[in-house]
Amino acid sequence: VLGVLIISPIALCLMWKSIPVWQTRIPLVPVLLTMFLAVIVTIYAYVSIQEKEKLESLLEQKSLAMSSAIKLHISNYKEALYSIKSLFEYTPNIDPEEFEVFNNKIKIRQPGIHAMSYQPLVKAHERQSYEDRVHKVYSDKFQITERDGTGNFKRASEREEYTPITL
């Protein structure tokens, strides 16, 4: 479209330059074309700036909405963690079934949480008393284990600290 609007007047001037009426019009064509192009470029620049501002505003709105949603999820997950902390502070000898019921209620309210476990930090000098205490509470023979080279469980080797999955 722009090509037709620019080339047509030039072509007409060249075709009809010998006609006396056109001889007076020919000097005006470059001036009018320059003004026309200036208007078109100005409109294009204005529309481009408006479109860019609109897209930036939309991006900002979506970013804020996503940021708020992420903050809310993180806050909810932190609350779930604090509730587990409170559970173990006030019920240190909770059995696996009670812990599972508690976990299921949290997982229903927080669909982003798929699994939870209790993994205390046990220092090397606390290992035996920890294993005895867990054995007493759950009545199963409990020991801190690790996998060997073939993937089978064995008693964990000596180290400074352990994080056994207890529940």
Token pair 């090397």: residue: 124
pLDDT score for 121: 86
Q: What are the two backbone dihedrals, phi and then psi, of residue 154, each rounded to the nearest 5 degrees?
A: -145, 165
The answer, yes or no, to whether residue 6 has pLDDT greater than 90, is no
Contact between residue 122 and residue 164 where contact means Cβ atoms under 8 Å apart: yes
Q: Is the whole-model pTM more than 0.95?
A: no
H runs (alpha helix) in 16-144: 20-25, 28-90, 96-109, 127-138
DSSP class of residue 151 equals: S
Residue among 9, 8, 45 at smallest CA distance from 29: 9
Whether 146 shows a pLDDT value over 80: the answer reads yes
Q: What is the pLDDT of residues 48-97, one digit of tens each?
A: 999 999 999 999 999 999 999 999 999 999 998 898 888 888 887 777 78
Helix or strand or coil: residue 21?
A: helix
